[in-house]
Amino acid sequence: MRNRLFALGLALLLALSTTAPAFAATPAADWSAVQALSPGTKIIVRTKDGDRLTGRFDSATDLVINFTDDGKKVSLARDSIRLVQLNRSKSRLNGALLGAAIGGGAALAIGGWAYSQGDFHPSVVYGPGLLGAGIGAGIGGALGKGNKNETIYEAP
């Protein structure tokens, strides 16, 4: 029974620590999506030269995109742009949930191992698990998980 609990905790830890995307989104190559943005939308523009600019969208024509970057008006030619994304900040909730799962799973596995080594009360398994989940949630929430930027245009 003790070995099964340890194996279950270890399997849970491994399952939660390996995350793979459920699907791969294909970036859009349609400039009309950029032209349809409403003024004031937060965007990220990456140029073919490797520059990364962030700002608020103003307007776009068939040849040019206009936006404001730190109070300065920026106008870029469409053929110099590699990527346009909607700027969405990091997901703190997803980071907290992932951190809680990883921290809780790791502490649960360690608690299960400690329980299997001697004559301990079962709370030695669940106590560290709850503590690890709390610590993991705090760290994950502080760091955030990735970003939620949505690519609306990518140069062909």
Specify the CATH number for the domain of residue 83: 2.30.30.100
Domains contained in the chain, number:
2
Q: Sorting pLDDT into bands at 50, 70 and 90, what band is 24?
A: very low
Considering the domain architecture, whether residues 81 and 98 belong to the same structural domain is answered as: no
Does the residue 60 lie in any domain?
Answer: yes
Does the residue 153 lie in any domain?
Answer: no
- Tell me whether strands 150-154 and 72-77 are parallel, antiparallel or unpaired: unpaired
Mark out the alpha helices in 18-91 (DSSP H runs): 32-35
Considering the domain architecture, whether residues 103 and 82 belong to the same structural domain is answered as: no
Considering the domain architecture, whether residues 128 and 79 belong to the same structural domain is answered as: no
Beta-carbon count within 10 A of 147 CB: 13
Beta-carbon count within 10 A of 24 CB: 6
Considering the domain architecture, whether residues 114 and 73 belong to the same structural domain is answered as: no
pTM above 0.85, yes or no: no
pLDDT (tens digit per residue) in 97-110: 888 898 888 888 88
Structure tokens at 79: 């053929």
Q: In the chain, how long is the greatest CA-to-CA distance?
A: 74
pLDDT at 142: 79
Length of the chain: 156
Does the residue 106 lie in any domain?
Answer: yes
Does the residue 152 lie in any domain?
Answer: no
> Half-sphere exposure (CA, 13 Å, Cβ side) for 45?
26
Final residue before a domain boundary, out of 89, 106, 137: 89
Does the residue 14 lie in any domain?
Answer: yes
* Residue 82 lies in domain: 32-89
pLDDT at 146: 62
pLDDT at 107: 84
What is each CA distance from 155 to 70, 82, 151, in whole angstroms?
A: 25, 5, 11
Does the residue 27 lie in any domain?
Answer: no
pLDDT at 138: 85
Cα–Cα dist 111/81, whole Å: 53
